A and B are shown apart, each in its own frame.
Chain A
Amino acid sequence: MKAKFLIPLALFGILVVFLAVGLRLDPHEVPSPLINKPAPAFKVTQLEQPELQFSPEDLKGKVWLFNVWASWCVACRQEHPVLMEFARLQVAPLVGLDYKDQRKDAFGVLRRSGNPYDIIAFDGDGRVGIDYGVYGVPESYVIDKAGVIRYKHIGPITTEALQKTIIPLINELKKS
């Protein structure tokens, strides 16, 4: 048996090992070191009114949802109707972070599909995103009255996640 004819089998073996390991992993689940830590502070301009600024300090005393999005992010379009629903329910302030984006493009998206956000912070060069450990957009954080991150959701928020996890958590945090 010549060794070179075993190469395909060997490659396949390696592939199977990775697939087997991959099966145990949940591609949606990512631990965040920021859970139960104070939300990193920042001060950036707002998207729609560049003359105004936004800082997490402004919302001290309130429970709020912080959603990282961008006009170039396809999954954000999938998430968008869910955020619109969240905004309609008026559970808590919804703050957007427009991540590594152009203002013009972001305006386009908001104009075309509607704006669910109460405030949008503009993070054109992605510095705020680095502090929050953003590596995939969209990501969302629930931040409590003391400014502590209590929950992080990776990927588009689904209706189910919104109804079963995020809204109940916000309501509970509001009581405390």
Chain B
Amino acid sequence: MTPELGHFALILALCVSLVQGILPIFGAQYGRREWIVLARPAAQVVFLLMAASFVALAWSFYLNDFSVQYVAEHSNAQLPTLYRFGAVWGGHEGSLLLWVFMLSSWTVAVAQFSRTLDETMVARVIGVLGLVTSGLLLFVLFTSNPFNRLLPAAENGRDLNPLLQDPGLVFHPPMLYMGYVGFAVAFAFAIAALLSGRLDAAWARWSRPWTTAAWVFLTLGIALGSWWAYYELGWGGWWFWDPVENASFMPWLLGTALLHSLAVTEKRGSFKSWTVLLAIGAFSLSLLGTFLVRSGVLTSVHAFATDPRRGIFILVLLLLVVGSSLALFAWRAPKVALGGSFALVSRESLLLTGNVLLVVACASVLLGTLYPLIIDALKLGKISVGPPYFNAVFVPIMAPVLFLMAAVPLARWKNADAKDIALRMWIPGGLALLAGILVPRFMGGWMAMTALGVALSVWIAASGVIQIARRLKSGVPPASFWGMHLGHFGIAVFVFGVTMVGSYQEEQDVRMEPGDTVLVGGYQFKMIGVKDEPGPNYSASRGEFEVTPAGGGAVNLLYPEKRNYFSSTMPMTEAAIDAGFTRDVYVSLGEPLEGKAWAVRVYFKPFVDWIWGGCLIMALGGLFAVSDRRYRLRVKSGAADAGAGALKVATP
């Protein structure tokens, strides 16, 4: 009964979302208030229905109702409860349901937190979100219904893919989807602005916190995925330029560009059509990512079952959403008034340069991801594009971005003095140079790329510190100031981590017997032995290793595992990692060899955790920026006395 209720709620949600999508937009266009006011309650009802539907599916998983096909395919009687919840989005149907549920959550949040905004604007935004929701709901109901029954019921489920049975992966998809879907809000604001013809500072200010919030989730989602790949796949890598990874990274790049472009539009009224285009682009890439992942047009290590009907459906959806918004853009954007002019050297011009570089970086990732498909479609053969392409193309594009981002906050709006910026940057510049020369030597080997990475990260961090110190002299800065600098500092930490791991990691594959030792990265690894350990739905071989710093010191025990899940023939590697501030020590079990010997992989990964630490700091910066008071204090024009007063205090 519960699955039918969920299914029914889904159908009702579709009906209400059509109301939410059509009436408010027409109401706003023709000034019919009785239709405009429908937007909020409709959004709330859709949210409740989607929540009901989602809970129904989760409940079926909790009960392990194997008469539901989706549950039978992704759960198992032995599957621990936590993973049964994770399994709700462990497959195609459920992850799409999560997608739509999140979209409705964002919509209801917009409805809730935009009480101070212009009523017709909110109606348009909610309306656009309603149209997107109904499109995706049609997709779920017609091609990917998670509530389909399996009669007669299966005796036991096929179990969740063992790769996904991991706490990191329980939270990775929701975070990622929150980010993907969150860009729908920025998109809806952009479309609403195009529809109304009101592309002004107010519009930019409204969409900024939403865009930043989506960006925060996306950052965390990507970081979680990368972290998961690092410790679960057992290869010690953290990014593989896999099509599915790229699908999440492209919206991030455009979203980052959008964040900065929105700042210019809010503060200076410039870049309006560019900002709108970025907002459309970021969400389009989220949809494109969904298409690439779900249609199976590309091969990837994330192997998903494919169904051609789904691919066609998403393609049509993509065509409708993106095509119509780009057509709207071509129609309305030329009428948008130009913003303030700016000089060749100004904060605007520097931000625009960084923006263009980010877009180019995104385009190069898109090209690399789609190139195999394009070549195949042109019947020129079959090829695959791998990390060498991405590293060769991506790094040179991003290096100038990193160089610029340190200086941009120093540049004045409209017209900046290049000499003045250079004068103020000599300390960070000197520190960067010094670090670039010294740090690689100290780490054991100077390489040009290593020096560049270290120098850039010190350059960013040091200029941030100097700018903060300067700013503190004139009172306490607002949260958004801290947000920006935290975000940039996160990038510095990230770049440092990437550079160090890339340059100085050590790896050894060895055959080890109990009692054997191996020396890697200044640590001595001693194999104690491998024992069999039963798990809830798998059996494992659990190794025990003693790790001692070569110079003497505390002994650390590590327990890597090799798991055989009952439901799968593929053994899973659970690496054992001794994480540290300046290095990770990483042991993973390979295959059992003759006797008591095992193939063992031992890694020394200097500063690897800085990669995800940097992402966390970036996300924290985003949170600070969202929490800035000025987003909350703006009251409708006119009665803004209290708000303006508080604003004066907040931004002296």
Task: Report A's interface with B, CB cutoff 8 A.
Answer: 1-2, 5-6, 8-9, 12-13, 15-16, 18-23, 25, 27-28, 30, 74-75, 77-78, 81-82, 84-85, 108-109, 111-114, 135-136, 155, 159
* Shortest Cβ distance from residue A70 to the other chain B in the assembled complex, whole angstroms: 13
Contact of B599 among A78, A112, A155, A159 (CB under 8 A): A112
Please name all residues of chain B whose beta carbon is closer than 8 Å to the beta carbon of A9 when the two chains form the complex: 323, 326-327, 329-330
What B residues does A109 contact at CB under 8 A?
Answer: 509
B601: chain A residues within 8 A (beta carbon):
112
B569 touches A159 (CB 8 A): yes
How far, in whole Å, are A72 and B322 apart by their CA atoms in the complex? 39
B interface residues (Cβ-Cβ under 8 A, vs A): 235, 240, 273, 277, 280-281, 284, 291, 295-299, 301, 308, 311-312, 315, 318-319, 322-323, 326-327, 329-331, 333-334, 370, 372-374, 376-377, 381-384, 509-511, 569-571, 590-593, 599-601
For the complex with contacts A22-B376, A109-B509, 19 further pairs of A-B residues with Cβ separation under 8 Å are A5-B334, A9-B326, A9-B329, A12-B322, A16-B323, A18-B377, A19-B291, A23-B311, A23-B312, A27-B296, A27-B372, A74-B301, A81-B570, A81-B571, A108-B509, A111-B509, A111-B510, A111-B593, A112-B599
Q: Are A155 and B315 in contact (CB under 8 A)?
A: no
- Closest Cβ of chain B to A93, distance in Å, is 21
B591 touches A113 (CB 8 A): yes
Does B376 lie within 8 Å of A23, measured CB to CB?
Answer: no
CA distance A135 to B376 in the complex (A): 13
Binding site secondary structure of chain A: helix
Q: Is the CB of B319 within 8 A of A16?
A: yes
Given known contacts A9-B330, A136-B382, A21 and B509 CB-to-CB distance under 8 angstroms: no
- 5 CB < 8 A contacts A-B: A9-B326, A9-B330, A12-B284, A112-B599, A114-B593
In contact, B376 and A111 (Cβ under 8 angstroms): no
Which residues of chain B have C-beta atoms less than 8 A from A74's C-beta?
235, 240, 301
Q: Let me know if A135 and B308 touch, CB within 8 A.
A: no
Contact of B326 among A12, A75, A108 (CB under 8 A): A12
Q: Nearest 5 pairs between A and B by C-beta? A: A112-B599, A21-B377, A9-B326, A112-B590, A114-B591
Residue in B296, B298, B509 whose beta carbon sits within 8 Å of that of A112 in the complex: B509
Contact call B370/A1, Cβ cutoff below 8 A: no
| A6 CB contacts on chain B under 8 angstroms | 330
Q: Decide if A30 touches B509 in the complex (CB within 8 Å).
A: no
- Assess the B370–A23 pair: CB atoms within 8 A: no
Q: Does A12 contact B323, Cβ atoms closer than 8 Å?
A: yes
Which residues of A lie under 8 Å from residue B511 when comparing CB positions? Answer: 111-112
A1 touches B334 (CB 8 A): yes
CA distance A84 to B327 in the complex (A): 55
Give chain A residues whose Cβ lies under 8 Å from the Cβ of B600. Answer: 112
Min CB distance B449 to A, Å, is 20
Alpha-carbon distance A22/B292, docked complex (angstroms): 10
Residues of A within 8 A of B569 (CB): 81-82, 85, 159
Q: In the complex the two chains form, what is the Cα distance from A80 to B235 in whole Å?
A: 14
A contact residues around B509 at 8 Å (CB): 108-109, 111-112
Take A74-B240, A113-B599, A136-B384 as given contacts and tell me if A27 and B331 are in contact as well, using a CB distance cutoff of 8 Å.
no
CB neighbours of A155 from chain B (8 A)? 299
| Residues of chain B within 8 A of A135, CB atoms compared | 381-383
Q: Shortest distance in angstroms between A35's beta carbon and chain B's nearest beta carbon?
A: 16
Nearest chain B residue, comparing its CB with the CB of A109: B509
Closest to B297 in A: A22
> Known interface pairs A16-B323, A113-B590, A114-B593. Does A27 touch B240 (Cβ–Cβ under 8 Å)?
no
CB distance from A78 to the nearest CB of B (A): 7
How many angstroms between the C-alpha atoms of A15 and B569 in the bound complex?
Answer: 39
B506 to nearest A CB, angstroms? 14
CA distance A58 to B571 in the complex (A): 34
The CA of A9 and the CA of B569, in the complex, are separated in Å by 47
- Indicate if the CB atoms of B297 and A25 lie closer than 8 Å: yes
State which of B240, B295, B374, B384 has its C-beta within 8 Å of the C-beta of A23. B295
User: When chains A and B are docked, how far (Å) is the Cα of A19 from the Cα of B601?
Assistant: 40
Query: Distance (Å) between the CB of A12 and the closest chain B CB?
Result: 6
Tell me the bound Cα distance from A25 to B370 in angstroms: 13
- A27-B299 in contact (CB<8A): yes
**Could you tell me the distance between the alpha carbons of A111 and B593 in the complex, rounded to whole angstroms?**
8
Rounded to whole angstroms, the CA-CA distance of A166 and B327 in the bound complex is 51
Of A8, A18, A113, which one neighbours B373 at CB under 8 angstroms?
Answer: A18
Q: Which of A25, A78, A114 contacts B377 (CB 8 A)?
A: A25
B373: chain A residues within 8 A (beta carbon): 18-19, 22, 25, 27
Contact B273 A5 (CB under 8 A): yes
Nearest neighbor of B382 in chain A, beta-carbon distance: A30
B234 closest partner in A (C-beta):
A77
The answer for the CA separation of A15 and B281 in the assembled complex, in Å, is: 13
Q: Which residues of A contact B599 (CB under 8 A)?
A: 111-114
Give the shortest distance, in Å, between B502 (CB) and chain A (any CB): 17
Chain B CB within 10 A, most for which of A2, A25, A77, A112: A112
